A = this chain, B = another copy of it.
Amino acid sequence: MKLAEAKEQFIQSWGVLGSQWGINRTMAQVHALLLVASTALSTDDIMEQLSISRGNANMNIRELMDWNLVYKTIVPGDRKEYFQAEKDIWKVATHIMQQRKKRELDPMIKVLNQLTDIEEEKKEPEVKAFTETIGNIKKFAGQADKTMDMMIKAEENWFWGNFLKLFK
């Protein structure tokens, strides 16, 4: 297979995967493009290679920088900004986890914690079903939360640090 063709396929598939997981398709494609680029790319490079508008490119690059998946790099003597992706896949994964945990899981856990005290009689089957399910979800979410924190901080922890080397 030709390189250009392989890149194209990777970018498309990464875009599809992203959109299935609630990530803007174009953002995932920009990410993919930068992941397989051998050098940093400018906004114009990205616009051209993905056939997208300047506004779209700009938005998604910023979002990727928010997620710590892409960094700005300076090319001396050039006024344009260049971008390059974090290529350590483990870091990519933990950065994504970190962001999604913060933006989505943590707010859900906060809501769950507000749903503990129900006014009605606790013996009512309706109340029992509710508190039991919420309790179980909370327990589960709490564990998932801890696990993610551990993975994110794995480098600082001997057991996880070694355990997770299997992944790298």
Contacts and interface: CB of A to CB of B under 8 A. Distances in A.
Contact of A6 (B21, B104, B115, B168): B115
Contact of A20 (B22, B38, B167, B168): B22
Interface in A108-125: 108, 111-112, 114-115, 117-120, 125
* Chain A at the B interface: SS class: helix
Given A87-B133, A108-B17, A111-B9, A2 B118 contact: yes
How many chain copies?
A: 2
Nearest to A90: B140
A89 interface: yes
A2 B120 contact: yes
A114 B9 contact: yes
Contact of A38 (B1, B3, B126, B137): B126
Contact of A129 (B9, B19, B36): B36
Contacts of A7: 130
Nearest to A7: B130
Interface of A: 1-3, 6-7, 9-10, 13-14, 17, 19-22, 35-39, 87, 89-90, 93, 103-105, 107-108, 111-112, 114-115, 117-120, 125-130, 132-134, 136-137, 139-140, 143-144, 166-168
